[in-house]
């Protein structure tokens, strides 16, 4: 059984009458790369800031490495956070910036700076001033800072935001290396959904401050990679039959009298039979593929995830 690194129960953060996160119950297990997926304002950053101690939840419970209450302060030291862009000194080199934070954090190991620069592959640019860095290099330095306390877990909010494809690939490769070679558990949010799909082992979809879906990669592939799609002569009647006969069915009516069903693939013959027995004409009954981005957009609504 995997160790649970982070656990929340009914976590809430309320601002006046607005809930930034609501009844947020979540577990992060050792070894995972967990993608937190949601539109801007869905509650991802609020959740991460609650975990880091930057903000305090209104109510609910939180455990970090099985610690609660005041003991969480010590437990947080085992996590590297990169929630907002770190404020590095523009006229300092990468080496000088990390040395400054090493002293601020009270890390006794003096060669930790060179180790971190090597891990994020900035060792050959360590003498270059931060203000001269590209966006990708700045993000890598931010990742180096989050790794300085040799964490067991990384929590990264939009680490590839603003990067070009090459920069995003660099960060993705580094995260996979940290997870596979250093056994670092990772929780990451991003709008680049296909990249989370490439590195993630689990996907948590968030909407309006709530978790609306929590899937392993295997579950994602079995549900979102395939969907039942067909055309009928009467969509209103067809949806009535579907809702009456199949509890928990997840579907959407498309243009041109088409219907797509996202779950219950194992019941596709039964669905076909039930519709036909109720006098509904069915055309082109097929099982089609769907990627993570399409699944996300259908799940939380809207045509764009920005």
* pLDDT tens for each residue of 277-291: 999 999 989 987 766
Q: Which long-range contacts (CB under 8 A, 24 or more apart) does 218-223 make?
A: 220/292, 220/295, 222/265, 223/262, 223/263, 223/265, 223/295
The arithmetic mean of pLDDT across residues 199-205, rounded, is 92
4-220 and 226-289 agree in CATH topology: no
The residue with greater pLDDT, 192 or 10, is 10
CA distances from 128 to 14, 131, 137 (A): 43, 9, 11
Write down the domain spans for the chain.
4-220, 226-289
Q: Is 141 helix (H, G, I), strand (E, B) or coil?
A: helix
Q: What are phi and psi of 3, to 5 degrees?
A: -70, 145
* pLDDT tens for each residue of 115-132: 999 988 898 888 899 999
Residues 6+ apart with CB under 8 A from 93: 126, 127, 128, 129, 130
Residue 269 pLDDT greater than 60, yes or no: yes
CATH 3.40.50.720 fits 4-220, yes or no: no
**pLDDT-based confidence at residue 305 (cuts at 50, 70, 90):** very low
What is the pTM for the complete model shown?
Answer: 0.75
The residue with greater pLDDT, 296 or 98, is 98
Predicted local confidence at residue 304, as pLDDT:
42
* pLDDT tens for each residue of 167-191: 888 888 889 999 999 999 999 997 6
Q: Which CATH architecture has domain 226-289?
A: 2-Layer Sandwich (3.30)
DSSP state of 303: S
């Amino acid at each position: 059984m995997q160790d649970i690194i982070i656990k929340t129960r009914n976590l809430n953060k309320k601002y006046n009458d607005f809930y930034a996160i609501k009844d947020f119950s979540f577990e992060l297990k050792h070894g995972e790369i967990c993608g937190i997926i949601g539109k801007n304002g869905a509650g991802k950053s609020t959740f991460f800031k609650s975990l880091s101690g930057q903000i305090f939840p209104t109510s609910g419970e939180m455990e970090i490495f099985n610690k609660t209450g005041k003991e969480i302060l010590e437990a947080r030291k085992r996590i590297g956070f990169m929630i907002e862009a770190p404020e590095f000194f523009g006229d300092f080199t990468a080496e000088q910036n990390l040395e400054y934070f090493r002293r601020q954090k009270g890390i006794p190991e003096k060669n930790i700076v060179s180790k971190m620069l090597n891990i994020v592959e900035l060792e050959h640019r360590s003498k270059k001033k931060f203000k001269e860095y590209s966006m990708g290099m700045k993000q890598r330095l931010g990742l180096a800072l989050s790794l300085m306390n040799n964490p067991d877990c990384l929590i990264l909010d939009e680490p590839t935001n603003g990067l070009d494809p090459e920069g995003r690939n660099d960060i993705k490769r580094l995260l996979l290396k940290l997870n596979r070679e250093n056994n670092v558990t990772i929780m990451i949010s991003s709008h680049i959904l296909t990249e989370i799909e490439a590195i993630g082992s689990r996907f948590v979809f968030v909407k309006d401050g709530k978790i609306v879906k929590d899937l392993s990669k295997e579950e994602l592939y079995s549900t979102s990679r395939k969907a039942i799609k067909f055309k009928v002569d009467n969509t209103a009647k067809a949806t009535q039959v579907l809702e009456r006969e199949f509890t928990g069915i997840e579907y959407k009516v498309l243009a041109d009298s088409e219907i797509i069903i996202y779950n219950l693939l194992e019941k596709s013959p039964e669905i076909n039979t039930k519709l036909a027995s109720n006098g509904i004409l069915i055309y082109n009954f097929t099982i089609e593929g769907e990627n993570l981005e399409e699944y996300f957009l259908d799940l939380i609504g809207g045509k764009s995830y920005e």
